[in-house]
C-alpha cells in the first residue's frame, strides 16, 4: 500500500520549522513531492533546502504565502497546479495566536485573529483547491494539542482555536464525505519546538528534566510518522476524528502518578 504513495503532491503550510518541517521531511522520505509555505521574512530558504538535501532528499518547493490572504492562496494553488498538476495531501499546520497571561489579555480581535490563522485555512484552502484543481485533495489533516482539555500556560486562545478545529473536522467530514475527502485532526502531547518554548518559556524544559517524568513530551519524528500514516491509505477508515499521539501516557499522569512515583521524583 505504501508504495502507491510515491510521487504524490503534498502541501504543508507553515512547514519550515518544528512539527510542520518534520512532517514535510517524512513525506519527502517516501518519495512525495513537497510544497512548503512560510510567512514573510520568517526563514532563509537556503536553510530549509539544506535540511532536506542533507538527508539525501529532493528540495521542497518553497512559497511565501500568508494563509489568511485569499489572493496569496489563489496564487499558491495556481502555481502548484502549473508545476505539479495536482494536489493529493493538505497538512494545515499554521498556528498563530496571542499569548494570554491574564484576563486583561482577553481581546476579541486577538481571538478572532487566532481563529483566522489557525482554523479557517483548513476550510478555505480546501474550498479553493476544488475551484483551481477541479477536485479536492484526498487527505486534509490539521494539527492540534492537549490545549482543549488541559491547562497550558499562556495558551487560552490557542486552545480555543484548536477546540474549534476539533469540532469542525467532524462536520467537514460529513459535508465532504461523498467527495472522498478524508478530514482528520492529529493531536499530540507537547513537542519541544521554538513555538512551544515561546509559549511556555525556556524554563519549562529545565522543569521537566528536574522531575524526569516519562511522557511529558514526544519527539518530532513520532508526530511525523503518525501524520504520514494517517494519509497513507492504511487508515482511511478513520474519518472526522481527532487522533492523539501520546504514547498512551494520557491515562497515567497528574497527581495520582506523582503520588505513586513520589520517592523516585524526590517529592
Q: How many residues does the chain have?
A: 267
212: pLDDT confidence band, cut at 50, 70 and 90?
low
pLDDT in the model for residue 213: 65
* pLDDT value of residue 138: 96
Report the domain count for the chain: 1
User: What's CA 203's distance to the chain center, in Å?
Assistant: 24
Asked whether 156 and 100 are in contact (CB, 8 A), the reply is yes
Contact indicator for 25, 58 with CB cutoff of 8 Å: no
What's the average model confidence in pLDDT over 227-248? Answer: 93
With bands split at pLDDT 50, 70 and 90, how would you rate the model's confidence at 15? confident
Q: Which domain holds residue 28?
A: 2-265
Sheet strands (E) in the chain: 9-12, 33-38, 61-64, 89-92, 139-145, 182-188, 241-245
CATH of the domain at 68: 3.40.50.720
Rounded to whole angstroms, how far apart are CA atoms 127 and 5?
A: 23
Q: For 148-180, what is each residue's pLDDT tens digit?
A: 888 888 889 999 999 999 999 999 999 998 998
Q: Average pLDDT over the chain, rounded to whole?
A: 88
Give the model confidence (pLDDT) of 114-138 as tens digits.
999 999 999 999 999 999 999 999 9
What's residue 169's pLDDT? 96
Amino acid at each position: 500500500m505504501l508504495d502507491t504513495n510515491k510521487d504524490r503532491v503534498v502541501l504543508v503550510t507553515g512547514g519550515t520549522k518544528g512539527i510542520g518541517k518534520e512532517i514535510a521531511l517524512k513525506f519527502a522520505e517516501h518519495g512525495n513531492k513537497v510544497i512548503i509555505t512560510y510567512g514573510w521574512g520568517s526563514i532563509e530558504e537556503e536553510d530549509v533546502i539544506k535540511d532536506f538535501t542533507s538527508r539525501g532528499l529532493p528540495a521542497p518547493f518553497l512559497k511565501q504565502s500568508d494563509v489568511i490572504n485569499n489572493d496569496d492562496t489563489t496564487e499558491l494553488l495556481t502555481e502548484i497546479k502549473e508545476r505539479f498538476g495536482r494536489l493529493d495531501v493538505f497538512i494545515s499546520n499554521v498556528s498563530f495566536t496571542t499569548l494570554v497571561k491574564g484576563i486583561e489579555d482577553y481581546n476579541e480581535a486577538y481571538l478572532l485573529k487566532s481563529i483566522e490563522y489557525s482554523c479557517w485555512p483548513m476550510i478555505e484552502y480546501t474550498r479553493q483547491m476544488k475551484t483551481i484543481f477541479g477536485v479536492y485533495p484526498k487527505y486534509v489533516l490539521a494539527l492540534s494539542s492537549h490545549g482543549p482539555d488541559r491547562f497550558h500556560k499562556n495558551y487560552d486562545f490557542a486552545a480555543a482555536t484548536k477546540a474549534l478545529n476539533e469540532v469542525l473536522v467532524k462536520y467537514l467530514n460529513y459535508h465532504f464525505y461523498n467527495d472522498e475527502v478524508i478530514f482528520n485532526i492529529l493531536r499530540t502531547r507537547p513537542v519541544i519546538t521554538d513555538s512551544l518554548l515561546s509559549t511556555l518559556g525556556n524554563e519549562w524544559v529545565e522543569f521537566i528534566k528536574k522531575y524526569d517524568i516519562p511522557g511529558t513530551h514526544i519527539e518530532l519524528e513520532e508526530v511525523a510518522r503518525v501524520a504520514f500514516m494517517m494519509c497513507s491509505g492504511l487508515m482511511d477508515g478513520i474519518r472526522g476524528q481527532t487522533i492523539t499521539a501520546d504514547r498512551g501516557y494520557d491515562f497515567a499522569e497528574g497527581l495520582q502518578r506523582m503520588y505513586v512515583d513520589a520517592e523516585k521524583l524526590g517529592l
